[in-house]
Amino acid sequence: MTASDLLVALPVLVLAAGACLVLLGDLLVHADGRAWAWVGAAFALAAAVCTAIPAGADAAFAGSVRRDGASIFVAALVGATTAAALLLAVGYVRRMALPAAEVTALTLFSASGAVLMASAGDLLVVFIGLELLSLPLYALTGLMHAAPHADESALKYFLLGAAASAVFAYGIALVYAATGSISIGALGGISSPVGLAGIALLLAGLAFKAALVPFHFWAPDAYVSAPTPATAFMAVVAKLGAFSALLRVGAAITGPGAVAVDWRASVAVIAAVTLVLANLAALGQQSLKRLLAYSSIAHAGYIAVAASAGVVASAAIAFYLVVYAALTLGAFGIITLLENDDPRIDDLHGLARRRPLLVVALGVILLGLTGLPPTAGFLAKVYVFEAAMGAQLAWLVVLGVLASVVSAAYYLRVLFACLGEGEGEPARGPSVGGSVVVIAALAVLVLGIVPGPLLDAVQSVRF
Q: How far apart are CA 202 and CA 175, in angstroms?
A: 9
State which of residues 10, 174, 337, 351 lies at the interface with other proteins (CB under 8 A): 174
The contact mask relative to other proteins for 29-58 (x = CB under 8 A, - = no) is ------------------------------
Alpha helices by DSSP H, 97-149? 100-119, 123-141
CA–CA separation, 189 vs 253, rounded Å?
A: 8
The residues pairing with 287 across neighbouring beta strands, listed in sequence order, are 344
Phi/psi of residue 341, nearest 5 degrees? -85, -20
Considering only residues 94 to 123 of the shown chain, the ones binding other proteins according to CB under 8 A are: 95-97, 99, 102-103, 105-106, 109-110, 112-113, 116
Q: How many CB atoms lie within 10 A of CB 135?
A: 18
Instruction: Note whether 14 binds other proteins by CB under 8 A.
Output: no
Residues 63-82 that bind other proteins (CB under 8 A): 63-65
193 makes contact with other proteins (CB under 8 A): yes
Round to whole Å and give the CA distance between 364 and 387: 25
User: Can the peptide bond before residue 227 be classed as cis, meaning omega within 30 degrees of 0?
Assistant: no
* Secondary structure class of 187 (helix, strand, coil): helix
Q: Does 308 bind other proteins (CB under 8 A)?
A: no
Of 49-57, 196-204, 231-239, 426-434, the segment contacting other proteins by CB under 8 A is: 196-204
Dist CA 216 CA 363 (whole Å): 27
Cis, peptide link before residue 148, omega less than 30° from 0: no
Q: Is 422 in the site for other proteins (CB under 8 A)?
A: no
325 near other proteins, judged by CB under 8 A:
no
Among the listed residues 388, 436, 444, 461, the single contact to other proteins using CB under 8 A:
388
Which stretch, 16-24, 49-57, 68-76, 79-87, contacts other proteins (CB under 8 A)? 16-24
Q: Looking at 254, 287, 431, 460, which residue binds other proteins (CB under 8 A)?
A: 287
Site string for other proteins, 246-285 (x = CB under 8 A): ----------------x---x---------xxx-xx-xxx
Break the chain down into helix, strand, coil percent, rounded to 5.
75, 0, 20
- Smallest separation, CB 238 to other proteins (Å): 15
Q: Does 425 bind other proteins (CB under 8 A)?
A: no
- Estimate the crossing angle of helix 123-141 against helix 100-119, to 10 degrees: 160
Least gap, CB of 187 to other proteins (angstroms): 12
11 prior amide bond cis, ω within 30? no
191 binds other proteins (CB under 8 A): yes
Q: How far is the CB of 436 from other proteins (least distance, A)?
A: 20
Pick from 154, 246, 291, 438 the residue near other proteins by CB under 8 A.
Answer: 154
Which of 131, 132, 149 has its CA nearest to residue 141? 149
Among 70, 224, 271, 317, binds other proteins (CB under 8 A): 224
- Which residue's CB is nearer to other proteins, number 45 or number 347? 347
- Does 397 contact other proteins by CB under 8 A? yes
d(CA 117, CA 70): 11
* Residue 359 touching other proteins (CB under 8 A): no
Q: Is residue 402 a contact point for other proteins (CB under 8 A)?
A: yes
Q: How far apart are CA 145 and CA 154, in angstroms?
A: 11
User: What is the DSSP code string of 89-101?
Assistant: HHHHHHHHT--HH
DSSP state of 344: B
**Which one among 3, 42, 166, 357 touches other proteins, defined by CB under 8 A?**
166
Closer by beta carbon to other proteins, 24 or else 53? 24
Q: Does 312 bind other proteins (CB under 8 A)?
A: no
Q: Which of 31, 50, 442, 455 binds other proteins (CB under 8 A)?
A: 455
Per the CB < 8 A criterion, the answer to whether 187 and 175 are in contact is yes
Q: For 306-393, list the strands marked E by DSSP.
A: none
The 10 Å Cβ neighbour count of residue 1 is: 8
Does residue number 143 form part of the binding site for other proteins (CB under 8 A)? yes
229-248 residues near other proteins, rule: CB under 8 A: none
Nearer to other proteins by Cβ, of 285 and 308: the residue is 285
